Amino acid sequence: MPGSPDTAGLLQPTSIGGVLQLRNRICMAAMTRNRCIDGNKPTDIVAQHYGTRAKDGVGMIISEGIFISYDGSDFLHTPLLFLEEHARAWKKVTDEVHKAGGLMLFQPWHAGRLQNEEMSMLKENNYPVLAPSNIPASGDRYRLLEGHPGHSKNITEITNPEEIIDQYRNTASLAQTAGFDGVEVLAQGGYLLHTFLLKRSNQRTDKYGGSAENRCRFVLDVIDAIIEIWGAGKVGIKISPVDEYHDTASPYHEISQTYSYLISQLVARELGFITLSRRGYDTEPRPTGTELPPDYEPLQEFGDMIKFPGSKTSLIVNYEYSVEEAERLIRSDKIDLVQIGRPFISNPDLISRIRKGIPLAENDRGGDLLYGPYQHPDVGYNDWSAAE
């Protein structure tokens, strides 16, 4: 692909797991947009959104997070994938991406303790807020509930983890029916898988709690279940070791021990890729007891554990990487790919702009374009112009 000499590395084709062939090294990151207005299923406007970015030539698209079961988060129009009807709806989206020569991966999402049992979907189906332990998360405001309460205080500790693993199996199988090309497991942001990894949210006394090895067990069991369906090369995971989002900030020594073990196990499984997010690395001040070493970056500690001679696991980085920084890291052989998120909202032609050296358009519409409210779901979603 021709391009500016300043972005020659980013625009080179590459492969993941020896099975996914990418046009370039730029991925569109998963972004919740709250636009699945047909019973939490995607419509034609969602297919248009992803299809437009595939037509422009993005290397790989990661879907927005898609819930694997009933959900009680503060978004009414986030998507689901646990029934055949959900898979049929997503097939229209992946068909549009494939028609443009693109790849689209499925991101399975379980919100864990970041829900409220009064939200309509949970209430109507009498479904509990599940978490590793009965430890509520602080913060948030549920705008759609009277009094704007926070996350649930009425948490049900998971008694049979295999039931949740089966939900991941089910959704991973349906993702094949839906035409996705692979899976990126979400294990950050304070959601279910992330909370199993952390001592502050996991105080179990069974084989899923206690030591770093035990706290990683649930995540690895989910990964193994999905690998059985997809094969290791088409499966990846998104982790954020120093995340402090949603009451997750943890002591550095715990982070180092837990993620060193987790990454070693993922690489040993020859996982297709690991997306390493650095969210939280620049938070100042961090909560007392969770401070990081000076000038700390997760890539410095964990990058060489993923990307090394002979490794079959690609290293993708995420969280506010500029085009210039990503290019530098690719040229210095520190990473394989980069995920870019919000710039894809206002730049449906992001790849073309990078190729031609055209500056990226900035969002000048404020924060409501992310999740709403909106008069029509196309607003802030499918109404951005390409560069002349």
Give the max Cα distance, the chain: 60
Helices (H), the chain: 44-55, 84-99, 120-125, 161-177, 192-197, 212-230, 252-268, 298-306, 323-331, 343-346, 350-356, 368-371
Q: From CA 93, how far away is CA 336, in angstroms rounded?
A: 27
Q: Tell me which of 168, 191, 245, 381 is the catalytic residue.
A: 191
Any idea what the Cα angle at residue 318 is, between residues 214 and 150, rounded to 5°?
Answer: 65
Cβ–Cβ under 8 Å, residues 29 and 337 = no
DSSP character for 189?
T
Asked if 191 is an active-site residue, the reply is yes
Both tokens of residue 239? 């982790």
**Strand 20-22 vs strand 14-16: parallel, antiparallel, or unpaired?**
antiparallel
Q: Which residues are designated catalytic?
A: 191
